Structure 1
Amino acid sequence: MPNSPLDLLAIGETLIDFISTEPAESLSEAEQFRRHLGGSPANIAVTVARLGGRAAVASRVGAGALGRFVRRELEQRGVITDYLCHDPDYRTTIILVTKTEGTPDFEVFHGADAQLQPDDVPEEALARATVVHTSTFALARNPCRQTVIGAMRRAAALGKVVSLDPNYSPKLWPDIEEARAVLTELYAHVTITKPSLDDAARLFGGDMTPEQSVRRFHELGPRTVVLTMGKRGTLLSHAGQLTHIPARLVDVVDATGAGDAFYGGFLTAYTDGLTLVQCVHVANAVVAQKLQRVGQLTEPLNKQAIYAMVGI
């Protein structure tokens, strides 16, 4: 149903991750790869859909076989593809990624994702959504950058919850001053942001405490900051209150997409009206399941069982 409500509209990159089949710290060590649906906004949309939510992506992929693979994978996972466009001139973006317990090594081959146009994110799409989300990857190149900024500005004007993952990488966006300026512009419209310690270090420098990093993100505009710190847990900040929530420790098989699984769980709980602390507990339970498999979450998740697991 084209006008039915959406829990989440994820705007930005939808692509293919080629993840090494064996653990490797560097791509120079990796020899064989397996393809997986990827892209941070797409991963978050998949997590929301796997938890029973209504999630859609607004993105561009190629018109060839890889673009058709992306559409099929999204639809099989329950993601709405009304706003997934096939670009006749650019190929689907791919990323080579190492399978690892820590931060993966990667290399990007850019394509259609950066060609997102304003008409690809119509007013109808924004009006349907409760949460409108994007990533910093999507801001690295035009025309996608200006499309995303315009869409988030319109979403904020419509009273939507505007969400940003500040997953800045100098590999993707070498000009840090430009990145900071663009993020400052966008953060004026953002409600919730979920940085990691790595994100904060890349954007602000590595000599800040977690509490100082949270304060810096608040200064940019968002009311709610969810700072993920790996095994150290999560620092949640809202309305002047800072809360530390421990992580769920599990045996890690692959960390690729872990932050997206966490945030998808968080946003699902958020749209269900749970408290912010409860949202983090749900996110921890979801990411624990992701960390024990390669690639993103593919099977349906029992949301009620997860809620019960964390005492909700």
Structure 2
Amino acid sequence: MSDGTGQTWPKGTVKRLDVLALGELLIDFCVSVEADGTPRMVGSAGGAPANVLAAVCRLGGTGQLVAKVGRDLFGDYLERCVKALGIDTTSLLRDPCRTTLAFVQLAADGDRSFSFERNPGADTQLQAHELHPTWFEQARVFHFGSLSLTDNPSRDATFSAIDMAKAADCIISFDPNLRPPLWRDLDEARSRISTAIALADLVKISDDEVLFLTGESNLDEGISRLRSAYPSVRLAVTCGAKGAIVDTDSGHVHIPSLPVVAIDTTAAGDAFLGALLYRLTRSDGVLRDAIWDDNLFLDAVSFANAAGALTTTKRGAMDALPTLPEILAHLPA
């Protein structure tokens, strides 16, 4: 069976990929101001699904990216970056639209605000007919975020990809990764994100996103409402410097983060999710069972917490992701 690029794998062979991710690959411009008041911008490779894959591959896993970039210098740069990280670019496509640009403003505590150049951006132009079933047949996990759901044709392509992933018996991973400036209407965002959660097996969601989706002012109540609405979805709730919360049959379990001095929180959530998927795919036995084994999942979240925290100690996205030895050095032996 061919994927249309010259590579052929017989159906039913052992899955060679830990994670296949679909979504935005873009340039993150970090915006800062020099002491003399001169503005400064430094660009680097980014985009949440690509960051997740970069984290998986940095730790020693395997990943492939389904994405579109422009036929421009930015697209050339991004392709070189993800290849250098070991990400399979078989499914990295080019489009006449320009590569999407994100501008990240850092606050004093390392937190971020975003603006985008995307009218439209190449990442929104992925089409369903460009997807190949063999990409999914080779993957254990299919991961996506909400930015590909903001516009067509990428929205329809994303839902087609989910269908292909389910047909290939992939675990479906989703990160809402809410970016309000990219949505025309936040009620629309809430609806589409809720639809995506219902299709997933595993969801990494931030505390702010829990409150956004549920309308609750209390986080524990919000998590409980999500668990009630999506009983077949395993939730990992990230809470920034406070760590993460996992909803188990025994109740909500809080796992603290590493104490670090954060200088840039860019990609911390992506590092968390990439490390979580890496750790889970290293479990013995059936991956779907590992996700619902509380002991295994809590161990994986502790590992992911360390990855997310360490990422905040460096500037940038993919460049800031920690290695396996760096994470293990901060975990109990």
Return the TM-score normalized by structure 2.
0.85
Say which of 71, 77, 81 aligns to 1:73.
81
The DSSP-based 3-state class of the residue aligned with 1:227 is strand
Say which of 146, 155, 163 aligns to 1:136.
146
Say which of 12, 17, 20 aligns to 1:9.
20
Task: Quote the Cα distance in structure 1 between the aligned partners of 2:66 and 2:201.
Answer: 20
Deviations 1:35-91 (A, max 9, x none): 01011000111111100110111000001111000000001111111100011x201
Task: Quote the Cα distance in structure 2 between the aligned partners of 1:236 and 1:191.
Answer: 14
1:209 aligns with 2:218: yes
- The 1:305–1:154 alpha-carbon spacing in structure 2 relative to 1, beyond 3 Å, is same
Match of 1:284 in 2: 305
- The 1:30–1:188 alpha-carbon spacing in structure 2 relative to 1, beyond 3 Å, is farther
The amino acid of 1:7's aligned partner reads: D
1:92 aligns with 2:99: yes
Deviations 1:139-171 (A, max 9, x none): 111111111112113312332110110122321
- The 1:230–1:282 alpha-carbon spacing in structure 2 relative to 1, beyond 3 Å, is same
- The 1:30–1:251 alpha-carbon spacing in structure 2 relative to 1, beyond 3 Å, is farther
The DSSP-based 3-state class of the residue aligned with 1:236 is strand
**Cα pair 1:98 1:104 within 8 Å, conserved:** yes
**Cα pair 2:271 2:321 within 8 Å, conserved:** no
Query: For structure 1, which runs of at least 5 residues remain unmatched after alignment?
Result: 24-28
Task: Quote the Cα distance in structure 2 between the aligned partners of 1:184 and 1:75.
Answer: 33
Deviations 1:14-54 (A, max 9, x none): 1110012459xxxxx98211001011000111111100110
Say which of 316, 320, 330 aligns to 1:295.
316
1:266 Cα shift?
0.9
Q: CA-atom RMSD, angstroms?
A: 2.3
1:311 aligns with 2:311: no
Percent sequence identity is 30
Task: Quote the Cα distance in structure 2 between the aligned partners of 1:200 and 1:71.
Answer: 34
Deviations 1:171-210 (A, max 9, x none): 11131222232223322320010111122233333x4322
Say which of 155, 161, 164 aligns to 1:151.
161
Match of 2:265 in 1: 255
- The 1:267–1:64 alpha-carbon spacing in structure 2 relative to 1, beyond 3 Å, is same
Task: Quote the Cα distance in structure 2 between the aligned partners of 1:162 and 1:61.
Answer: 24
Task: Quote the Cα distance in structure 2 between the aligned partners of 1:121 and 1:21.
Answer: 39
Task: Quote the Cα distance in structure 1 between the aligned partners of 2:45 and 2:194.
Answer: 30
The amino acid of 1:213's aligned partner reads: G
Structure 2 counterparts to residues 163-178 of structure 1, below 5 A: 163-178=173-188
The DSSP-based 3-state class of the residue aligned with 2:260 is coil
Task: Quote the Cα distance in structure 2 between the aligned partners of 1:185 and 1:145.
Answer: 12
**Cα pair 2:311 2:320 within 8 Å, conserved:** no
Task: Quote the Cα distance in structure 1 between the aligned partners of 2:103 and 2:244.
Answer: 28
1:214 Cα shift?
1.7
Task: Quote the Cα distance in structure 2 between the aligned partners of 1:222 and 1:91.
Answer: 39
The amino acid of 2:220's aligned partner reads: E
Deviations 1:185-240 (A, max 9, x none): 322320010111122233333x4322222223331455210011112221112456
Structure 2 counterparts to residues 16-95 of structure 1, below 5 A: 16-22=27-33, 31-87=39-95, 89-95=96-102
**Cα pair 2:57 2:87 within 8 Å, conserved:** yes
Match of 2:3 in 1: none
- The 1:303–1:179 alpha-carbon spacing in structure 2 relative to 1, beyond 3 Å, is same
Structure 2 counterparts to residues 100-115 of structure 1, below 5 A: 100=107, 101-110=109-118, 111-115=121-125
- The 1:169–1:305 alpha-carbon spacing in structure 2 relative to 1, beyond 3 Å, is closer
**Cα pair 1:59 1:120 within 8 Å, conserved:** no
Task: Quote the Cα distance in structure 2 between the aligned partners of 1:103 and 1:138.
Answer: 24
- The 1:2–1:69 alpha-carbon spacing in structure 2 relative to 1, beyond 3 Å, is farther
The DSSP-based 3-state class of the residue aligned with 1:294 is coil
- The 1:168–1:302 alpha-carbon spacing in structure 2 relative to 1, beyond 3 Å, is closer
1:179 aligns with 2:189: yes
- The 1:239–1:127 alpha-carbon spacing in structure 2 relative to 1, beyond 3 Å, is farther
